Amino acid sequence: MLHELDDFSSLLRTLDDREWTTPSRCEGWTVAGVAAHLTGSMTDIVSGNLDGIGTPEVTQREVDERSGRTSGEIAEELDAATKASADMVAIFDDDSWDAPAPAGLPYSLGVGIEALWYDAYLHADDIRSAIGRPSERGAGLEASVSHVAYFLDDRKWGPATLALDGMPEHEIGGGGRRITGDPLAFVLAATGRADPVPLGLDATVNIYA
Would you state the pLDDT for residue 2? 96
Q: Which CATH number fits domain 141-209: 1.10.3470, 3.30.1050, 3.90.930, 2.160.20?
A: 3.30.1050
Q: Encode burial over 151-170: b for 16+ CB neighbours within 10 A, e otherwise.
A: bbbeeebbebbbebeebeeb
> What pLDDT score was predicted for residue 102?
79
CB 80 within 8 A of CB 3: no
Domains 1-136 and 141-209 share a fold: no
What is the 3-state secondary structure of 143-208? HHHHHHHHHHHHCCCCCEEECCCCCCCEEECCCCEEECCCHHHHHHHHCCCCCCHHHCCCHHHCCC
Average pLDDT value over all residues in the chain: 95
Q: Work out the percent of the chain whose per-residue pLDDT is above 90.
A: 88
Position 101 scores a pLDDT of: 85
Between 1.20.120.450, 2.60.40.10, 3.40.50.720, 3.40.50.2000, what CATH number should domain 1-136 receive? 1.20.120.450
Domain ranges (residues) in the chain: 1-136, 141-209
What pLDDT, in 10s, does the model give residues 186-209?
999 999 999 999 999 999 999 998
- Ranges of the chain whose pLDDT falls below 70: none
Q: Which residues pair with 204 in a beta bridge?
A: none
What is the predicted pLDDT for the residue at 198?
Answer: 95
How confident is the model at residue 18, as a pLDDT?
Answer: 97
pTM here is 0.94
